[in-house]
Structure 1
């Protein structure tokens, strides 16, 4: 059970609910100790008196505000006294639409829990009410001798609290940034850019993304510990500058539509084969095992396969950026597609480097996938996926 970082009361109207706050996130970053090179000796940071050079115990350290040559000393108890009655209370002053709070204002997220089972009913009522109203309670609270503006809302069956930045802490972007556009975009460019965004629309799922850098840091540590070969990272891809913005937008839209059409056709054909195979197989067989067995049995109807190749060749001809000569490699691409589809662009790039595929630094994810499938060298794809 996670440790509560704050305990107090949540009040709205005349209702008071004793609650605890638990940090909602945790870092997965690999942490290192500082040591002196050539030794195993830890290097530690100590609080020392800059005049005497002697270490100062923590209980001897107080807060001081600089006022020139002197400091105004403030004790922790004095900070507590200037917030009477509020240091242990989350006082909701109103309920706002969560969508009206701009993301730049959000800081840290906490899960809110009732302090004991006797208050579960009030907690459940507030959660249900906020969920139905679609609003967030706006409140102030004091934590670690600092006052916070917070937003409380229902999410995933629990109450969630976000600390917010104060208005004077958020910079004005128009005063902060240089070289912002002064003119409105051309209508045709805007329509094509919106078309590209819609074509690339996805359903958000955070589990689709991984921190590959941290994974490689752990691989590096394990390799150095065991004496194995240290893994090499993928080189930085070469940057390209579009000569014509409109041409780049159109090529992007064509490429996305071509990739989605190919994936949709493949999924539809696989779905039909799964139904046919299901009549002769046990109902509990997985979709993946069906696809593997179908791949071993062959690609099915030759006429349908020819139609599929013709359509794919037509799409490849319309692709303004894609590579040539892919039509004759569809069989190997289909065989490796299941494993390659699960890899990120960085993982595909790494496999392309092992396979010696030229021009890979200028390829997008779809082009890397097609190049790997066409080369027939997909070793490591299953392991990476």
Structure 2
């Protein structure tokens, strides 16, 4: 059972209730001892007199404020208590605020507040239920361990919690602290990029469940200790992820959307023609721009239309004789195609989207980062036909 770290009176208006403050969290960080290398000898820290080198008992240590080099003003613990005798034992709520108005940067540490004994349960429950119904938090100042804290008291899961907060002058301005922050007009994001990023956020949306998240670093530290204890070889750490290529952000977003699909829709970060057809619910249309978002039905219709143009069939699913004859006539009229051109078409149909994109990059095809796999193949075939016609002329 936890022990309280502070006890006092919680007040609002003329209502008061004795409470105790308890730590809401605990630290599971692996604890190491300081050992002299090559030995099993512990290294300990001692409080020593800087001038004499002798150890000083804790009870003889007082606080000193340096006003000049080597000159201190000594302050005793009871003198600090006398500065705010009431506040050191009282959490006095001065007002109630909507927590949605408070920047999370101001919050520091969370504590549980409990009634000092069961005789104060009714007053405690009154404040807890009133705060929960109002959806507000009480703001108070109180002193603990020689320091004054700005505190928010709120109802949480049937109890009262106290959140110590930073004062306004303790919160740094990010615009002055971070020199690399982009200016308002320095990094323009297109509507298409913003829409794709929004889709990725929606696909990765989850309900908050803290039990799903574990301290993996702590687990790896325990595994490291166990491996070294057993005399096993320690494996190398995982490589850090590379930063996104800001020059082709659309391609990065497209691959992110593919990897976020349910398992079975994509494999190894690449997409087949069937994957592209099933996954185009909200992919931007390279030909129509940001406003051309397709539905799954529209995409299937578009893909089917392109397939029908390439392979005309009759009602039974077979190519018609007339179509075949027209194809032979067209081939004869334009001359026989070389074996190399036919091989190129066969190669393109077997390539993955990533490989097609690499070829499109080599040819510097426009809008390649927004194209589906079929569109990439179509654009590459069109570029190949253009080169063939130019060489023939």
TM-score range, shorter chain: 0.5 to 0.7
Equivalent residue in structure 2 for 1:252, among 233, 252, 256:
256
Distance 1:83 1:61 in 2: 22
**Structure with max Cα Rg:** 2
- The SS at the match of 1:31 is coil
Q: What are the ranges of 5 or more consecutive residues in structure 1 without an aligned counterpart?
A: 264-308, 321-385
Task: List per-residue Cα deviations over 1:179-215 (Å, max 9, x = no partner).
Answer: 2222153333222222221222111111111111111
The residue number in structure 2 matching 1:324 is none
The residue number in structure 2 matching 1:207 is 211
Q: CA deviation at 1:230?
A: 4.3
The residue number in structure 2 matching 1:358 is none
* Number of aligned residue pairs: 273
Distance 1:98 1:26 in 2: 25
Distance 2:189 2:19 in 1: 50
Q: How does 1:154-193 map to 2 (within 5 A)?
A: 154-182=155-183, 183=185, 184-193=188-197
Q: How does 1:133-144 map to 2 (within 5 A)?
A: 133-144=134-145
Q: What are the ranges of 5 or more consecutive residues in structure 2 without an aligned counterpart?
A: 267-271, 284-393
Q: CA deviation at 1:131?
A: 0.8
Distance 1:117 1:38 in 2: 56
The residue number in structure 2 matching 1:229 is 232
Distance 1:261 1:79 in 2: 66
Change (3 A) 1:91 1:231: same
- For the 8 Å contact 1:112–1:159, the answer to whether it is kept is yes
> Are 2:82 and 1:43 equivalent residues in the alignment?
no
> Are 2:83 and 1:85 equivalent residues in the alignment?
no
> Are 2:126 and 1:122 equivalent residues in the alignment?
no
The residue number in structure 2 matching 1:337 is none
- Give the root-mean-square deviation of aligned CA atoms: 2.6
The residue number in structure 2 matching 1:66 is 66
Task: List per-residue Cα deviations over 1:285-316 (Å, max 9, x = no partner).
Answer: xxxxxxxxxxxxxxxxxxxxxxxx99658548
Distance 1:250 1:160 in 2: 44
Distance 2:13 2:279 in 1: 64
Change (3 A) 1:237 1:108: closer
Distance 1:230 1:105 in 2: 45
Change (3 A) 1:66 1:231: same
Change (3 A) 1:230 1:217: farther
Q: CA deviation at 1:108?
A: 0.8
